Structure 1
Amino acid sequence: MSKLERLSDRFLRVGRHPFRLCSRSNRGHHDQDDFKVCCCCHTDSSLYSKCWPFIFFFSAITDYPMPLPKDKKPGQHRDWSWLPVIVVSSLVTFVYYGYLDRIVCKVYLSCFSFDYCTNMYAVVLLRKLQRMSQAVIYIVPFNVLFLLFIITYGRAVSQPPGYAEDIKTSGSSNNSSSKTVTSQSISPEEPKRSQDLPFSVLGYPRWCESCQLWKPDRAHHCRVCNACVLRMDHHCPWVNGCVGIDNHRFYIQFLIYVTLLASWTFVTSLVAFIQFHGMTTFDSIALTVLIIAGIFTVAVGTFTLSHLWLVLINRTTIENSQFQSWNKDQKSGKTNGRLIQGFTESGKNVFNQGWKNNWIEIMGSNPWLWFAPVHLKPRMKSDGVHYGFDEHILNEYLNEDQSRRSDATNKR
């Protein structure tokens, strides 16, 4: 296990959600949906269905998956899926107005109205002699970061994550130099012979009962989108969809720019607050902007650092969650010989190629375009099916997996 991975075990542990709102129902039904009680009401009740928009918003804020109402199936609750995006857009618009009008214009440019400043910043600054240079230093980076945030957020929302059903699977004979899948590695009781098996460096693909297709390595089924996503990182309500192989880069850029924008807004607003005795010059809107920027700087900044860390060690959020849970069970002796896909018994990641190659696999090989919101899929090393890997760790993983399967067969 590399140093980065050892550090991640300390700082990226997955704990239990602090709000234990869901529990089993006392009803005697056999339907799993009837077993669930959420917010003191059954998920099959009309009250739960009526409160679903608010419950969904809570799920978006806390990133905690709440059970769907009984009348909604996975993928059918998207009628409220744009609510978090609208909230983000409204909040950013408020911060943009409050920062420029109530902090920069009124504090540094002595009460010029935002109506006169909109799209006329250069004219206003040329006419104003007092603290002109400081206003320029504040306004220009703020608008640049705001523009980059809008573009990357739009790309993260609009770009599909990449779905397993869209790829054209090629048989195991397409790459003879790599580990391929044979029919012997598939359990004979699985009636899925009609589909071509996708390439799998781990030795075997997995079958999705919901989508009725073979999943390539690192693909997972999203119950919210009701689809299998290639290299699924997680489902993010704030971008109205999943983060996968095709939009992961835009998502990382979005996190970086929203963190920089919030940090710049908070620091410059705090400087203005201290410099001009803010309680006498800051109104309620300016104070709200300062507080919101501070909260975003801490909360989103921490979230951004954790995702950058996962990119450097080549783990998705799902893989890291599974590994942390498995690692905890291993230390307590509860794994029962179980392995996490892509990880050895010693905790080594098959797909970890070193931080530099891990970064290039997601962000591209051209350093000048790492933070540019342009599509670079043709230059990426992975396509949703083929990924870079460490050959030595892969051999160790395959040997352990084969040994585990042999032991399971002998016990039968």
Structure 2
Amino acid sequence: MAPSGSGSVKRSCQRVLYWIPVLFISIIVCWSYYAYVIQLCIESMGNIGEKVVCLLAYHVFFIMFAWAYWKTIFTKPMNPSKEFHLSYADKELMERVDRGESQQELLRRIAKDLPVYTRTMSGAIRYCDRCQLVKPDRCHHCSVCDKCILKMDHHCPWVNNCVGFSNYKFFLLFLAYSLLYCLFTAATDLQYFIKFWTNGLPDTQAKFHIMFLFFAAAMFSVSLSSLFGYHCWLVSKNRSTLEAFRAPAFRHGADKSGFSLGFSKNLRQVFGDEKKYWFLPVFTSLGDGCSFPTCLVNQDPEQPPTPAGNNSAVKNGDNHPFPAKPLRESQSHLLNSEKSWPEHDVGEDKEKHGMP
């Protein structure tokens, strides 16, 4: 019992330590609120009109930033649904069979009816030993959360949460509004920061708050702008941070642009179809997180060439046809400008109607 008790204490201590970066950010934000509202606007600004405008604009940025940050932290990451978990009988069978081809044969049978199209770099079915499930496309196991996370991007210590399908939009808005918050703070504080160095401010404690506020806002603006720009690029390419470092592997091989549908559709996959909700931290991402439409660039060399714009079918080792653009009904409107793959052979349909 002792090892179990010590392990529980260790995990509790780790959970407390994981909140330290969030606490640090919260303290910085609370201090910046006091420094800007009290020391800069109320104590240092003499023009009433400037004071009112700055306070109103500042609170808009502050509220949106805090809202997005809260949603990023406390939105639980989504895990694979039950259909991807192994049944009790399959788990027992997995324990009995040897690792290697026998296990892969069993996994191919299990994954045959699942919307799974990516593979490991060696071409094997992606399986998680810890969670005992077949990994959905773009799903990865987080060692910190000790769970498989749908469309995992990364585990962010600054929000003490995994950034994935359920909160990736919130994370992007958090970066955007925190950048706007810092830029606005630095821009409106600049003239008073200059007065600090030219001895144009009265000798009060507001001087030091104004100085450090400008340094903090400028420093965070630089780091946030690079991070936000990088994630905007990822959204435009429909990639996660993990996929940017290692391209997802399909049956025909690795393809870094396998999930890219074009800039507009890539953007809508994260932010949704209704533009009025794009800038609000409310969940509007398309799909269910378990399957995603793809646009395969490199077709399977064993398949005959198909005309541009048509969908081809790729077969796995079990001769089970898989469409080149896998998607569920909830995502079908993403590709409404393209033909959907046929559910039955065209020749059979013609014979049914007596056509030559």
TM-score normalized by the length of structure 2: 0.69
SS at match of 2:292: coil
Structure 2 counterpart of 1:87: 24
Structure 1 counterpart of 2:236: 312
What is the identity percentage for the equivalent residue pairs of Structure 1 and Structure 2?
Answer: 29
Structure 1 pair 148–398 and aligned structure 2 pair: CA distance change class (3 A) = farther
1:276, distance to aligned residue in structure 2 (A): 7.1
Which of 41, 58, 61 lines up with 1:104 in the alignment? 41
What amino acid sits opposite 2:30 in the alignment? T
Structure 2 counterpart of 1:159: 75
What amino acid sits opposite 2:246 in the alignment? Q
SS at match of 1:246: coil
SS at match of 1:221: strand
Structure 2 counterpart of 1:354: 262
Structure 2 counterpart of 1:371: 279
Structure 1 pair 397–367 and aligned structure 2 pair: CA distance change class (3 A) = farther
Structure 1 pair 162–305 and aligned structure 2 pair: CA distance change class (3 A) = same
Q: How many Å separate the matches in 1 of 2:225 and 2:214?
A: 16
1:162, distance to aligned residue in structure 2 (A): 0.8
Structure 1 pair 344–293 and aligned structure 2 pair: CA distance change class (3 A) = farther
User: Is the 2:249–2:255 Cα contact (8 Å) retained in structure 1?
Assistant: no
Structure 2 counterpart of 1:189: 103
Which of 190, 195, 217 lines up with 1:293 in the alignment? 217
Q: Does 1:250 align with 2:187?
A: no
Q: How many Å separate the matches in 2 of 1:90 and 1:398?
A: 59
**Which sections of structure 2, spanning at least 5 residues, go unmatched?**
1-5, 86-99, 304-313, 318-356
SS at match of 2:103: coil
SS at match of 1:189: helix
CA RMSD of aligned residues (A): 3.3
1:84, distance to aligned residue in structure 2 (A): 1.2
Q: How many Å separate the matches in 2 of 1:143 and 1:342?
A: 47
Structure 2 counterpart of 1:136: 52
1:134, distance to aligned residue in structure 2 (A): 1.4
1:136, distance to aligned residue in structure 2 (A): 2.0
TM-score normalized by the length of structure 1: 0.60
Structure 1 pair 227–366 and aligned structure 2 pair: CA distance change class (3 A) = same
Structure 2 counterpart of 1:271: 191
1:272, distance to aligned residue in structure 2 (A): 2.8
Which of 393, 400, 403 lines up with 2:297 in the alignment? 393
Structure 1 pair 364–145 and aligned structure 2 pair: CA distance change class (3 A) = same
Q: How many Å separate the matches in 1 of 2:293 and 2:51?
A: 48
Alignment coverage as a number of residue pairs:
277
Q: How many Å separate the matches in 1 of 2:131 and 2:13?
A: 15
What amino acid sits opposite 1:242 in the alignment? C
Structure 1 pair 188–296 and aligned structure 2 pair: CA distance change class (3 A) = same
Q: Does 1:149 align with 2:149?
A: no
Q: How many Å separate the matches in 2 of 1:168 and 1:278?
A: 66
Q: How many Å separate the matches in 2 of 1:192 and 1:346?
A: 20
Q: How many Å separate the matches in 2 of 1:192 and 1:344?
A: 19
Superposed, 1:181-260 pairs within 5 Å as 187-190=101-104, 198-202=114-118, 205-260=125-180
1:360, distance to aligned residue in structure 2 (A): 0.5
1:342, distance to aligned residue in structure 2 (A): 5.0
SS at match of 2:78: coil
Structure 1 pair 321–249 and aligned structure 2 pair: CA distance change class (3 A) = same
Q: How many Å separate the matches in 2 of 1:224 and 1:189?
A: 27
**Which sections of structure 1, spanning at least 5 residues, go unmatched?**
1-48, 50-68, 110-130, 172-185, 324-339, 406-412
Which of 383, 386, 390 lines up with 2:288 in the alignment? 383
Instruction: Show CA shifts across 1:74-112 (max 9, x none).
Output: x98323221111111111000111011221122214xxx
